Chains A and B, each alone.
Chain A
Amino acid sequence: MRNDDRVPETTTQEADARLDELFLAYREACPDPEPSVNFTPELWVRIEAREVSTNLFGRMAKALVTAALAATVILGLIVSTFSHNESQFNGTYIEALRADRASSLEPLNLDRFAEMEQQ
Protein backbone atom coordinates (compact mmCIF):
# COMPACT_ATOMS: atom_id res chain seq x y z
CA MET A 1 0.00 0.00 0.00
CA ARG A 2 1.22 3.52 -0.76
CA ASN A 3 2.21 5.66 2.24
CA ASP A 4 0.40 8.77 0.96
CA ASP A 5 -2.93 6.95 1.36
CA ARG A 6 -2.36 6.61 5.09
CA VAL A 7 -3.78 8.93 7.70
CA PRO A 8 -1.57 9.74 10.76
CA GLU A 9 -2.15 7.14 13.51
CA THR A 10 -3.18 9.69 16.19
CA THR A 11 -6.11 11.04 14.20
CA THR A 12 -7.21 7.78 12.62
CA GLN A 13 -9.66 6.73 15.31
CA GLU A 14 -11.22 10.17 15.51
CA ALA A 15 -11.47 10.47 11.74
CA ASP A 16 -12.88 6.93 11.46
CA ALA A 17 -15.57 7.77 14.01
CA ARG A 18 -16.44 10.99 12.14
CA LEU A 19 -16.66 9.14 8.86
CA ASP A 20 -18.96 6.50 10.40
CA GLU A 21 -21.11 9.31 11.79
CA LEU A 22 -21.20 10.94 8.37
CA PHE A 23 -22.21 7.69 6.65
CA LEU A 24 -24.95 7.17 9.21
CA ALA A 25 -26.24 10.72 8.70
CA TYR A 26 -26.11 10.15 4.92
CA ARG A 27 -28.15 6.95 5.28
CA GLU A 28 -30.74 8.89 7.28
CA ALA A 29 -30.70 11.84 4.87
CA CYS A 30 -31.45 9.49 1.96
CA PRO A 31 -34.46 7.41 3.02
CA ASP A 32 -35.80 4.62 0.78
CA PRO A 33 -38.17 6.26 -1.72
CA GLU A 34 -41.78 5.11 -2.01
CA PRO A 35 -42.45 3.23 -5.25
CA SER A 36 -44.97 4.82 -7.59
CA VAL A 37 -48.42 3.24 -8.09
CA ASN A 38 -47.40 2.15 -11.59
CA PHE A 39 -44.22 0.42 -10.51
CA THR A 40 -45.49 -3.17 -10.71
CA PRO A 41 -47.78 -2.73 -13.79
CA GLU A 42 -44.91 -1.08 -15.69
CA LEU A 43 -42.61 -3.89 -14.60
CA TRP A 44 -45.00 -6.46 -16.09
CA VAL A 45 -45.20 -4.46 -19.34
CA ARG A 46 -41.42 -4.64 -19.56
CA ILE A 47 -41.37 -8.37 -18.75
CA GLU A 48 -44.01 -9.11 -21.40
CA ALA A 49 -42.19 -6.97 -23.98
CA ARG A 50 -38.98 -8.90 -23.29
CA GLU A 51 -40.83 -12.22 -23.56
CA VAL A 52 -42.33 -11.21 -26.93
CA SER A 53 -38.94 -10.15 -28.30
CA THR A 54 -37.32 -13.32 -26.95
CA ASN A 55 -40.03 -15.46 -28.56
CA LEU A 56 -39.69 -13.55 -31.84
CA PHE A 57 -35.93 -14.06 -31.77
CA GLY A 58 -36.45 -17.74 -30.96
CA ARG A 59 -38.88 -18.17 -33.85
CA MET A 60 -36.50 -16.39 -36.22
CA ALA A 61 -33.63 -18.58 -35.07
CA LYS A 62 -35.77 -21.71 -35.60
CA ALA A 63 -36.77 -20.52 -39.09
CA LEU A 64 -33.14 -19.86 -39.96
CA VAL A 65 -32.08 -23.31 -38.75
CA THR A 66 -34.88 -24.94 -40.78
CA ALA A 67 -33.91 -22.96 -43.88
CA ALA A 68 -30.24 -23.90 -43.41
CA LEU A 69 -31.20 -27.59 -43.06
CA ALA A 70 -33.37 -27.46 -46.18
CA ALA A 71 -30.56 -25.77 -48.14
CA THR A 72 -28.10 -28.44 -46.95
CA VAL A 73 -30.41 -31.26 -48.06
CA ILE A 74 -31.03 -29.64 -51.46
CA LEU A 75 -27.32 -28.97 -52.04
CA GLY A 76 -26.51 -32.52 -50.93
CA LEU A 77 -28.99 -33.92 -53.44
CA ILE A 78 -27.63 -31.73 -56.27
CA VAL A 79 -24.01 -32.68 -55.52
CA SER A 80 -24.80 -36.39 -55.26
CA THR A 81 -26.74 -36.28 -58.56
CA PHE A 82 -23.81 -34.64 -60.41
CA SER A 83 -21.20 -36.94 -58.91
CA HIS A 84 -23.38 -39.92 -59.83
CA ASN A 85 -23.43 -38.80 -63.52
CA GLU A 86 -19.65 -38.26 -63.58
CA SER A 87 -18.85 -41.63 -62.08
CA GLN A 88 -20.51 -43.59 -64.95
CA PHE A 89 -17.05 -44.42 -66.40
CA ASN A 90 -16.07 -47.64 -64.74
CA GLY A 91 -12.40 -47.96 -65.84
CA THR A 92 -9.20 -47.13 -63.95
CA TYR A 93 -7.71 -43.66 -63.67
CA ILE A 94 -5.24 -44.29 -66.52
CA GLU A 95 -8.03 -45.64 -68.71
CA ALA A 96 -10.07 -42.61 -68.04
CA LEU A 97 -7.17 -40.31 -68.97
CA ARG A 98 -6.59 -42.30 -72.10
CA ALA A 99 -10.23 -42.04 -73.10
CA ASP A 100 -10.22 -38.32 -72.47
CA ARG A 101 -7.02 -37.55 -74.38
CA ALA A 102 -7.05 -40.34 -76.96
CA SER A 103 -5.65 -38.18 -79.75
CA SER A 104 -2.67 -36.94 -77.77
CA LEU A 105 -1.74 -40.49 -76.80
CA GLU A 106 -1.70 -41.85 -80.34
CA PRO A 107 1.65 -43.52 -81.39
CA LEU A 108 4.07 -41.20 -83.23
CA ASN A 109 4.08 -41.42 -86.99
CA LEU A 110 7.66 -42.65 -87.71
CA ASP A 111 7.33 -42.24 -91.54
CA ARG A 112 6.88 -38.53 -91.04
CA PHE A 113 10.12 -38.36 -88.98
CA ALA A 114 12.03 -40.17 -91.77
CA GLU A 115 10.76 -37.64 -94.33
CA MET A 116 11.91 -34.77 -92.14
CA GLU A 117 15.43 -36.27 -91.78
CA GLN A 118 15.83 -36.64 -95.59
CA GLN A 119 15.05 -32.96 -96.09
Chain B
Amino acid sequence: MLVEFELIQKAQKGDATAFNGVVSAYRRRILGTISRLIGRPEDVEDVAQEVFMRLYFSLEQLRTPEVFEPWLYRLTVNACYDYLRKSKRRLESRMADLSEQQVMMADAAAGSKAQSEDFEKRRVRDTVTGLLASVSEEDRVLLTMKEVEGLSLKELEKIYGVNENALKVRLFRARQRVLKNMKGVTPPRSGSAKSGEEE
Protein backbone atom coordinates (compact mmCIF):
# COMPACT_ATOMS: atom_id res chain seq x y z
CA MET B 1 0.00 0.00 0.00
CA LEU B 2 1.20 3.48 -0.80
CA VAL B 3 -0.30 4.95 2.40
CA GLU B 4 -0.70 3.89 6.01
CA PHE B 5 -4.13 2.57 6.96
CA GLU B 6 -4.25 5.21 9.70
CA LEU B 7 -4.38 7.90 7.00
CA ILE B 8 -7.31 6.14 5.36
CA GLN B 9 -9.04 5.87 8.74
CA LYS B 10 -8.59 9.60 9.28
CA ALA B 11 -10.03 10.24 5.80
CA GLN B 12 -12.96 8.00 6.70
CA LYS B 13 -13.69 10.26 9.65
CA GLY B 14 -13.91 13.26 7.30
CA ASP B 15 -10.37 14.60 7.61
CA ALA B 16 -9.89 16.49 4.31
CA THR B 17 -6.10 16.70 4.70
CA ALA B 18 -5.89 12.93 5.14
CA PHE B 19 -8.07 12.41 2.06
CA ASN B 20 -5.79 14.76 0.10
CA GLY B 21 -2.88 12.60 1.25
CA VAL B 22 -4.56 9.47 -0.11
CA VAL B 23 -5.31 11.26 -3.41
CA SER B 24 -1.72 12.50 -3.71
CA ALA B 25 -0.34 9.01 -3.13
CA TYR B 26 -2.52 7.25 -5.68
CA ARG B 27 -3.45 9.85 -8.31
CA ARG B 28 -0.49 9.27 -10.62
CA ARG B 29 -0.94 5.51 -10.63
CA ILE B 30 -4.69 5.86 -11.21
CA LEU B 31 -4.13 8.42 -13.97
CA GLY B 32 -1.72 5.98 -15.66
CA THR B 33 -4.16 3.07 -15.45
CA ILE B 34 -7.01 5.18 -16.78
CA SER B 35 -4.92 6.56 -19.66
CA ARG B 36 -4.05 3.01 -20.73
CA LEU B 37 -7.64 1.83 -20.39
CA ILE B 38 -9.49 4.64 -22.16
CA GLY B 39 -6.78 5.89 -24.52
CA ARG B 40 -7.90 9.54 -24.54
CA PRO B 41 -5.44 11.83 -22.75
CA GLU B 42 -7.88 14.77 -22.71
CA ASP B 43 -10.40 12.87 -20.57
CA VAL B 44 -8.03 11.05 -18.20
CA GLU B 45 -8.18 13.64 -15.39
CA ASP B 46 -11.94 13.86 -15.60
CA VAL B 47 -12.31 10.09 -15.14
CA ALA B 48 -9.69 10.06 -12.36
CA GLN B 49 -11.59 12.78 -10.48
CA GLU B 50 -14.74 10.69 -10.83
CA VAL B 51 -12.84 7.73 -9.32
CA PHE B 52 -11.63 9.73 -6.31
CA MET B 53 -15.05 11.29 -5.85
CA ARG B 54 -16.62 7.80 -5.73
CA LEU B 55 -13.88 6.81 -3.30
CA TYR B 56 -14.68 9.79 -1.06
CA PHE B 57 -18.38 8.88 -0.85
CA SER B 58 -17.78 5.15 -0.33
CA LEU B 59 -14.78 5.35 1.98
CA GLU B 60 -16.81 4.98 5.16
CA GLN B 61 -17.79 1.43 4.11
CA LEU B 62 -14.16 0.27 4.10
CA ARG B 63 -13.30 -1.97 7.08
CA THR B 64 -9.99 -3.73 6.33
CA PRO B 65 -6.80 -2.25 4.88
CA GLU B 66 -6.06 -5.13 2.49
CA VAL B 67 -9.13 -4.44 0.37
CA PHE B 68 -8.37 -0.74 -0.13
CA GLU B 69 -6.27 -1.06 -3.30
CA PRO B 70 -8.48 -3.68 -5.01
CA TRP B 71 -11.43 -1.45 -4.13
CA LEU B 72 -9.75 1.60 -5.68
CA TYR B 73 -8.98 -0.43 -8.80
CA ARG B 74 -12.55 -1.65 -8.97
CA LEU B 75 -13.76 1.96 -8.82
CA THR B 76 -11.25 2.77 -11.56
CA VAL B 77 -12.35 -0.07 -13.82
CA ASN B 78 -16.03 0.79 -13.29
CA ALA B 79 -15.45 4.49 -14.01
CA CYS B 80 -13.58 3.52 -17.21
CA TYR B 81 -16.45 1.26 -18.29
CA ASP B 82 -18.92 4.10 -17.66
CA TYR B 83 -16.74 6.50 -19.64
CA LEU B 84 -16.31 4.06 -22.56
CA ARG B 85 -20.06 3.42 -22.68
CA LYS B 86 -20.82 7.15 -22.67
CA SER B 87 -18.12 8.00 -25.21
CA LYS B 88 -19.50 5.38 -27.61
CA ARG B 89 -22.82 7.21 -27.54
CA ARG B 90 -21.18 10.63 -27.82
CA LEU B 91 -18.78 9.79 -30.65
CA GLU B 92 -21.20 10.19 -33.54
CA SER B 93 -22.90 13.31 -32.23
CA ARG B 94 -19.53 14.90 -31.46
CA MET B 95 -18.31 14.41 -35.03
CA ALA B 96 -21.61 15.72 -36.38
CA ASP B 97 -21.32 18.85 -34.22
CA LEU B 98 -17.93 19.85 -35.64
CA SER B 99 -17.80 22.05 -38.68
CA GLU B 100 -15.57 21.05 -41.61
CA GLN B 101 -13.02 23.73 -40.64
CA GLN B 102 -12.91 22.49 -37.04
CA VAL B 103 -12.33 18.92 -38.25
CA MET B 104 -9.42 20.11 -40.46
CA MET B 105 -7.91 22.07 -37.58
CA ALA B 106 -8.21 19.08 -35.25
CA ASP B 107 -6.53 16.83 -37.85
CA ALA B 108 -3.68 19.32 -38.30
CA ALA B 109 -3.15 19.58 -34.53
CA ALA B 110 -3.12 15.79 -34.18
CA GLY B 111 -0.65 15.50 -37.07
CA SER B 112 1.84 17.96 -35.61
CA LYS B 113 1.58 16.31 -32.19
CA ALA B 114 2.17 12.91 -33.76
CA GLN B 115 5.25 14.19 -35.58
CA SER B 116 6.78 15.36 -32.32
CA GLU B 117 6.23 11.98 -30.62
CA ASP B 118 8.81 9.28 -30.63
CA PHE B 119 8.05 7.08 -33.64
CA GLU B 120 8.80 3.75 -31.97
CA LYS B 121 6.66 4.50 -28.94
CA ARG B 122 3.80 5.48 -31.19
CA ARG B 123 4.23 2.31 -33.24
CA VAL B 124 4.11 0.14 -30.10
CA ARG B 125 1.05 2.00 -28.82
CA ASP B 126 -0.77 1.65 -32.14
CA THR B 127 0.17 -2.03 -32.45
CA VAL B 128 -1.04 -2.95 -28.96
CA THR B 129 -4.17 -0.82 -29.29
CA GLY B 130 -4.92 -2.57 -32.58
CA LEU B 131 -4.31 -6.02 -31.10
CA LEU B 132 -6.46 -5.32 -28.06
CA ALA B 133 -9.24 -4.11 -30.35
CA SER B 134 -9.68 -7.74 -31.45
CA VAL B 135 -11.17 -8.71 -28.07
CA SER B 136 -14.28 -7.48 -26.28
CA GLU B 137 -14.13 -4.35 -24.13
CA GLU B 138 -14.33 -6.43 -20.92
CA ASP B 139 -11.49 -8.72 -22.04
CA ARG B 140 -9.41 -5.75 -23.18
CA VAL B 141 -9.73 -4.15 -19.74
CA LEU B 142 -8.97 -7.47 -18.03
CA LEU B 143 -5.90 -8.13 -20.24
CA THR B 144 -4.64 -4.58 -19.69
CA MET B 145 -5.01 -4.90 -15.91
CA LYS B 146 -3.12 -8.21 -15.91
CA GLU B 147 -0.47 -7.79 -18.59
CA VAL B 148 0.12 -4.04 -18.67
CA GLU B 149 -0.74 -2.90 -15.14
CA GLY B 150 0.89 -6.05 -13.75
CA LEU B 151 -1.85 -7.00 -11.27
CA SER B 152 -1.76 -10.54 -9.93
CA LEU B 153 -4.61 -13.02 -10.30
CA LYS B 154 -5.28 -12.70 -6.55
CA GLU B 155 -5.68 -8.94 -6.92
CA LEU B 156 -7.90 -9.36 -9.98
CA GLU B 157 -9.98 -11.88 -8.05
CA LYS B 158 -10.69 -9.21 -5.42
CA ILE B 159 -11.37 -6.52 -8.02
CA TYR B 160 -13.77 -8.56 -10.13
CA GLY B 161 -15.22 -10.73 -7.38
CA VAL B 162 -14.75 -13.77 -9.65
CA ASN B 163 -12.74 -16.89 -8.73
CA GLU B 164 -9.19 -17.30 -9.99
CA ASN B 165 -9.95 -20.21 -12.34
CA ALA B 166 -12.67 -18.31 -14.16
CA LEU B 167 -10.26 -15.39 -14.59
CA LYS B 168 -7.52 -17.71 -15.88
CA VAL B 169 -9.85 -19.17 -18.50
CA ARG B 170 -11.03 -15.76 -19.61
CA LEU B 171 -7.50 -14.37 -19.78
CA PHE B 172 -6.28 -17.42 -21.69
CA ARG B 173 -9.01 -17.08 -24.31
CA ALA B 174 -8.44 -13.35 -24.68
CA ARG B 175 -4.70 -13.89 -25.00
CA GLN B 176 -5.22 -16.59 -27.64
CA ARG B 177 -7.36 -14.22 -29.66
CA VAL B 178 -4.72 -11.51 -29.43
CA LEU B 179 -1.98 -14.00 -30.39
CA LYS B 180 -3.98 -15.07 -33.41
CA ASN B 181 -4.03 -11.48 -34.64
CA MET B 182 -0.37 -10.94 -33.85
CA LYS B 183 1.04 -12.74 -36.89
CA GLY B 184 3.06 -10.32 -38.97
CA VAL B 185 3.51 -7.79 -36.17
CA THR B 186 7.10 -6.56 -35.90
CA PRO B 187 8.43 -7.00 -32.35
CA PRO B 188 9.41 -3.83 -30.50
CA ARG B 189 13.04 -2.75 -30.75
CA SER B 190 14.45 -3.53 -27.34
CA GLY B 191 15.25 -0.45 -25.30
CA SER B 192 13.90 2.01 -27.86
CA ALA B 193 10.57 2.36 -26.08
CA LYS B 194 12.39 3.18 -22.89
CA SER B 195 13.94 6.34 -24.32
CA GLY B 196 12.40 9.41 -22.75
CA GLU B 197 10.86 7.35 -19.96
CA GLU B 198 9.84 9.59 -17.07
CA GLU B 199 10.06 7.05 -14.29
Q: Considering the chains assembled together, what is the distance between the CA atoms of A35 and B173 in angstroms?
A: 35
Q: Which of B182-199 contact A (CB under 8 A)?
A: 182, 185, 187-188, 190, 193-194, 197-199
Contact, CB under 8 Å: B49 / A19: no
Which residues from A are CB-within-8-Å of B147?
19-20, 23
Q: Which of B54-94 contact A (CB under 8 A)?
A: 56-57
Stretch at the interface among B5-13, B21-29, B98-106, B107-115: B21-29
Which residues from B are CB-within-8-Å of A117?
none
Contact, CB under 8 Å: A19 / B148: no
Q: Considering the chains assembled together, what is the distance between the CA atoms of A26 and B125 in angstroms?
A: 6
Q: Chain A, 1-15, contact with B by CB distance < 8 Å: what is the 0/1 string?
A: 100011100001001
Chain A CB within 8 A of B31 CB: yes
Q: Considering the chains assembled together, what is the distance between the CA atoms of A63 and B16 in angstroms?
A: 31
Contact, CB under 8 Å: A19 / B32: no
Are A28 and B197 CB-contacts (below 8 A) given A22-B185, A33-B35? yes
Chain A CB within 8 A of B48 CB: yes
Chain B CB within 8 A of A46 CB: yes
Contact, CB under 8 Å: B173 / A31: no
Are A33 and B32 CB-contacts (below 8 A) given A25-B188, A28-B197? yes
Q: Considering the chains assembled together, what is the distance between the CA atoms of A33 and B194 in angstroms?
A: 15
- Which partner residue on chain B sits nearest A17 by CB separation? B187
Are A7 and B148 CB-contacts (below 8 A) given A28-B193, A29-B124? no
Chain B CB within 8 A of A116 CB: no
Return A77 CB to nearest CB of chain B, in Å: 42
- Which partner residue on chain B sits nearest A35 by CB separation? B27
Return A50 CB to nearest CB of chain B, in Å: 6
Quick one: which of A19, A23, A30, A39 contacts B45, CB cutoff 8 A? Answer: A39
Quick one: which of B32, B120, B127, B128 contacts A31, CB cutoff 8 A? Answer: B32
Which residues from A are CB-within-8-Å of B53?
43, 46-47, 50
Return A29 CB to nearest CB of chain B, in Å: 4
Are A35 and B31 CB-contacts (below 8 A) given A1-B173, A46-B49, A46-B53? yes
Q: Considering the chains assembled together, what is the distance between the CA atoms of A98 and B36 in angstroms?
A: 87
Q: Considering the chains assembled together, what is the distance between the CA atoms of A47 and B19 in angstroms?
A: 12
Quick one: which of A23, A26, A33 contacts B31, CB cutoff 8 A? Answer: A33
- Which partner residue on chain B sits nearest A34 by CB separation? B28
Chain B CB within 8 A of A101 CB: no
Quick one: which of B49, B150, B187 contacts A18, CB cutoff 8 A? Answer: B187
Q: Chain A, 25-67, contact with B by CB distance < 8 Å: what is the 0/1 string?
A: 1111111111110011011101100100000000000000000
Q: Chain B, 108-135, contact with A by CB distance < 8 Å: what is the 0/1 string?
A: 0000000000001110110110010000
Q: Considering the chains assembled together, what is the distance between the CA atoms of A46 and B173 in angstroms?
A: 40
Chain B CB within 8 A of A95 CB: no
Which residues from A are CB-within-8-Å of B41?
33
A interface list, Cβ under 8 A from B: 1, 5-7, 12, 15-16, 18-23, 25-36, 39-40, 42-44, 46-47, 50
